Structure 1
């Protein structure tokens, strides 16, 4: 039982020297990545850079103890940082101290929400966001994040906003005030970060850019020429912080906390599952991941951090560098702690433009053009859902975008379930198999027997569609139609509304003198038919295992003159 809630108890007793070398290498590599990224993402969240480092100390250790992924690297990420800034910025805190209090409170709320979702096994909630919606939202958020960093990259005044139209108008008004030395510094940092790995893929290019930026500012006195720097970074471990328990603050932050909880879990779980697929010695549990992330966020809340989650790039690096267990995250946390104790004075001359470059390079990869092109060719409805989420997020804000994405995802599920696929079937020559006439040529299509298959549950929301489609198909056959065979292989549920409608429909068809057969009823649906009297109404001898059995039964029914139905009189070759 304890191993379920503390997965470290599963792998730690079996820990070996072979695992130690990989974990130590990966832990130090990711720790080196976390230093510049943590500081940059904290600035993106509107906080002092030091809080990005605080957010990767205790939370990393807590996740290593409770997380089911052995390679997931948690910490600040661009998306969550922007959501934090957007949610807290809307409250217009009067002082930096109040802003920090709200950020800490947001971390507490995210932790409570994720922990509660994990305890109550609500990990399935992430399924409410379809892949096209996630792609559209992520791409739009990446653009907003990138634009938000232009104020540091260009050293111009830009208002805090998450609406692209406002950002572009402000950029156009202030572009003439661009500080050339600052933008030059930022461009050099972007080139180093983005293309430095071409020299060697294991190079910590973000840290190299940070070191080069610090040396340039310090050695050339670039602050005298207008370069903005981070300035004094407090040293020492984070003290205990106290989140706000003011109901008014919680009410104001609940929407952003819920958004971060879902988006953060979605991002974290997606990358954890992708990495786990390469390792067969453990499984990732969605509900335990929620618990672990929730506890990690609680750790951030009480140690001056802000909301965190698993990151794509860091997790990939962690895996590639040889991480075998959660010890890699513990080693990363130890490196950050040593940095906080002894190395923070070295970041005094760090240019803000370099931190902006770290963020910009990180989010460029989140803009997914390929997915949009793929959906345009393969599935137009999903393409338009992606574009709607993308445009809403860009123009109306991050929270509105993710909310619209959830609504669109659910709306598409409802829409598709109300219009289930209905196939008209015909016989494959010289066999007892029946296939969709829209997909196969040369089938034996009978005018007197309509055989159809409905793919999906039959319930109150799709009853009218089913009846309308069936009515159209029957009308096309006209007076030649003598029997209807409903293939129920794909009907997995029938609700009470459908039962009432089916009774009326069965009676209506029988009154027209048309024979009705059902085939392939699965157990639960057959039970419903039996309990509600549908079996009695349809007739036990009109329920069959296969379409061919139903057709044979119809052919052997006596006609008015005492003869049986003649298959050959109605057999046609489908030209479809």
Structure 2
């Protein structure tokens, strides 16, 4: 869950909310639309409005109205169930009237058996054949589960532990396989529905499963009479409530990168399968962040009015001043993409430096890319050729290990490195003292 940016989650969740609503237009209008995705099907439905079934629409509207009304009564969340029952009863009454189109019911789509699936051992002969599809399904399920877990908090305000969710999802899928079940992932519509029904803990899903099993065993014959438009009305309410405009507004106002990732994820979720939309959104976020951060590297000059004083930050000079100490402090991420930006901001090296010392402060940098390391080594060699020196202060143990293993330490010079110390500024003071000593020796 941590690898999915907030902009991706917000775009994904709100697009799924829109998808929930669009996916119910067929059942809500009684018109079977055509199209490659739900957006095109919705457009096809709107363009053929004269073919809508008004009894189907009436049942859906009545169901929605009853949900909004009954949830304000002592029935609370149970009002959803009552609304679907009343809507289905209305559909049955309309079917008795001659000349009125019949409202579609669940029984028209499938027969609901009055039994639970029996345990069955898997066929081990197809294990090798199913390995790759199984891994693909696992990836899809984890992506969907992570996206939903990261966007729907628990009632206490905290977000679920992604690792615990992954384990639970895996165990559930393994167990369902012994009962002829198909693998499943996260479902935003199911999550929103159970939350709208008043769920307070994860036990609500287990309780819902038990109730569903009992209902199938006892009321299987009645389930077939539930009106599809009544269910569509219920899901439309859930979809509308899942849409969070304030989350979109917050991300949109955060910055151009977040707004771009949000928009792309939102649109792709409407047009392509959910798992691919999330993966594309994550990939786009990574690319945009790399591009953005690589252009945010800034080099500043530090000057001290007197020993022990706080540093004064100024713009670095265009050229390295001969015979002086120049302290440079880079800000921003110094990974490979930022190396060219860093190099362009370094002061130019004149032909003669008269012993000038450039001190590069790297405190707080725990890892540097090879491109940046080569840039630093090349700058050190240019300074040395002109009679100057590059010193580096505040070098962490991890960066020092990088320089040793890559051979950069030999190009810069081990005696020019001043390791990071617990006291802030100690390494810089040590480097400055050594630089001044060398300039005094040169002058004398």
The question of a shared fold, defined as TM-score above 0.5 by the shorter chain, is answered with: yes
Find the structure with the greater CA-based Rg.
2
2:33 aligns to what?
158
The within-5 A match list for 1:278-357 is 286-306=162-182, 307-309=184-186, 312-313=191-192, 316=195, 323=201, 329-357=205-233
Match of 2:345 among 444, 469, 472: 469
1:571 aligns to what?
none
The superposition leaves residues 230-285 of structure 1 with CA deviations (integer Å, 9 ceiling, x where unpaired) of 2253222223478895999987897666333311233136546x557659xxxx65
Match of 1:491 among 333, 357, 365: 365
Q: Mean Cα displacement is larger for which, 371-380 or 531-540?
A: 531-540
Deviation, 1:329, is 4.7
1:527 has 2:408 as partner: no
SS in 2 for 1:208: helix
Normalised by the length of structure 1, the TM-score is: 0.61
Q: Tell me how far apart the structure 2 counterparts of residues 390 and 333 of structure 1 sit (CA, whole Å).
A: 31
1:236 aligns to what?
115
Q: Tell me how far apart the structure 1 counterparts of residues 293 and 52 of structure 2 sit (CA, whole Å).
A: 53
The superposition leaves residues 6-54 of structure 1 with CA deviations (integer Å, 9 ceiling, x where unpaired) of xxxxxxxxxxxxxxxxxxxxxxxxxxxxxxxxxxxxxxxxxxxxxxxxx
1:456 has 2:337 as partner: no
Q: Tell me how far apart the structure 2 counterparts of residues 432 and 182 of structure 1 sit (CA, whole Å).
A: 79
Deviation, 1:138, is 2.8
Structure-2 change in CA distance of 1:220 and 1:315 (3 Å): closer
Match of 2:270 among 385, 389, 394: 394
Q: Is the CA contact 1:488–1:521 (under 8 Å) kept in the aligned structure 2?
A: yes
Q: Is the CA contact 1:419–1:465 (under 8 Å) kept in the aligned structure 2?
A: yes
Q: Tell me how far apart the structure 1 counterparts of residues 234 and 342 of structure 2 sit (CA, whole Å).
A: 55
The within-5 A match list for 1:173-252 is 173-194=47-68, 196-199=70-73, 202-218=76-92, 221=95, 225=100, 226-231=102-107, 233-240=112-119, 245=126
Q: Is the CA contact 1:385–1:408 (under 8 Å) kept in the aligned structure 2?
A: yes
Deviation, 1:373, is 2.2
Which structure's relative contact order is higher, taking Cα pairs within 8 Å and 6+ residues apart? 1
Q: Tell me how far apart the structure 1 counterparts of residues 155 and 435 of structure 2 sit (CA, whole Å).
A: 56
The within-5 A match list for 1:493-508 is 493-508=367-382
Structure 1: unaligned runs, 5 residues or longer:
1-125, 439-446, 564-576
Deviation, 1:308, is 4.2
Deviation, 1:408, is 0.8
The within-5 A match list for 1:19-418 is 126-159=1-34, 161-162=36-37, 164=39, 166-194=40-68, 196-199=70-73, 202-218=76-92, 221=95, 225=100, 226-231=102-107, 233-240=112-119, 245=126, 258-268=139-149, 271=152, 274=154, 286-306=162-182, 307-309=184-186, 312-313=191-192, 316=195, 323=201, 329-396=205-272, 398=274, 400-416=276-292, 418=294
The superposition leaves residues 82-130 of structure 1 with CA deviations (integer Å, 9 ceiling, x where unpaired) of xxxxxxxxxxxxxxxxxxxxxxxxxxxxxxxxxxxxxxxxxxxx44432
Q: Tell me how far apart the structure 1 counterparts of residues 314 and 58 of structure 2 sit (CA, whole Å).
A: 64
Q: Tell me how far apart the structure 2 counterparts of residues 379 and 398 of structure 1 sit (CA, whole Å).
A: 24
Structure-2 change in CA distance of 1:241 and 1:131 (3 Å): farther
Deviation, 1:193, is 2.9
1:543 aligns to what?
418
Deviation, 1:314, is 5.8
2:318 aligns to what?
none
Q: Mean Cα displacement is larger for which, 131-140 or 387-396?
A: 387-396
Structure-2 change in CA distance of 1:223 and 1:484 (3 Å): farther
Normalised by the length of structure 2, the TM-score is: 0.77
Q: Mean Cα displacement is larger for which, 306-315 or 200-209?
A: 306-315
Structure 2: unaligned runs, 5 residues or longer:
316-323
SS in 2 for 1:159: coil
Deviation, 1:504, is 2.3
Q: Tell me how far apart the structure 2 counterparts of residues 195 and 449 of structure 1 sit (CA, whole Å).
A: 73
Structure-2 change in CA distance of 1:554 and 1:499 (3 Å): same
Q: Tell me how far apart the structure 2 counterparts of residues 247 and 173 of structure 1 sit (CA, whole Å).
A: 48
Q: Tell me how far apart the structure 2 counterparts of residues 474 and 196 of structure 1 sit (CA, whole Å).
A: 75
1:8 aligns to what?
none
SS in 2 for 1:520: strand
Q: Tell me how far apart the structure 1 counterparts of residues 135 and 442 of structure 2 sit (CA, whole Å).
A: 75
2:321 aligns to what?
none
Q: Report the number of matched residues.
A: 417
1:511 has 2:392 as partner: no
